[in-house]
Structure 1
Amino acid sequence: MGSFSIWHWLIVLVVILLLFGRGKIPELMGDMAKGIKSFKKGMAEDDDAQAAKTVEHKADEPVKGAKEKASKS
């Protein structure tokens, strides 16, 4: 009673095929794949934007505010 038999799953599959048709299911899966790809692309663009915002400085350049700290001590 707690688990479904193979007959239950076959009936569910038949109902899904009747509702959506054979051509609609691959179309839905293709749309879902496009959505996942665009999500990954957006995440990659976010990472690129984050990397562009980071500030790099050279070792011989003084850090902003370092002169103030050095003169106070």
Structure 2
Amino acid sequence: MSIGIWQLVLILVIVFVVFGAGKLPRVMGDVGKGVRSLRDGLKGDEESKKEPEKLESATPSTSVETDDSKHDKTSA
């Protein structure tokens, strides 16, 4: 059973009566901001999951001792 056109019309009428004509645009704007924040949050989670994969595929870096670091170790 799916929602028909008359059920949608009834829901819209109830929302209009509850929130009124003045508050309806503001409420819908807040709902839109909430949906946008949710999408951005999910997108951020996907990017953070992809980031470790990139790190694993990267070539490992090697550290190089400089003359200064050798000098510091011997004088300590």
1:21 and 2:20 correspond:
yes
Report the TM-score, using the length of structure 1 for normalisation: 0.52
- Cα offset, 1:47, TM superposition: 1.1
Give runs of aligned pairs for residues 24-43 of structure 1, distance below 5 A.
Answer: 24-43=23-42
Matched positions, count: 51
Q: Distance in 2 between matches of 1:33 and 1:16?
A: 16
Supply the AA of the counterpart residue of 1:32. V
- Cα offset, 1:25, TM superposition: 1.0
Runs of 5+ consecutive residues of structure 2 not aligned to the other structure: 1-5, 61-76
Q: Distance in 1 between matches of 2:47 and 2:15?
A: 41
- Cα offset, 1:21, TM superposition: 1.8
More helix by percentage:
2
Supply the AA of the counterpart residue of 1:56. S
Runs of 5+ consecutive residues of structure 1 not aligned to the other structure: 62-73
Percent of residue pairs identical: 28
**Cα RMSD between the aligned structures?**
2.8
Report the TM-score, using the length of structure 2 for normalisation: 0.50
Q: Deviations over 1:6-58 (max 9, x none)?
A: xxx58x72x64443221111111111100110011011111110111111056
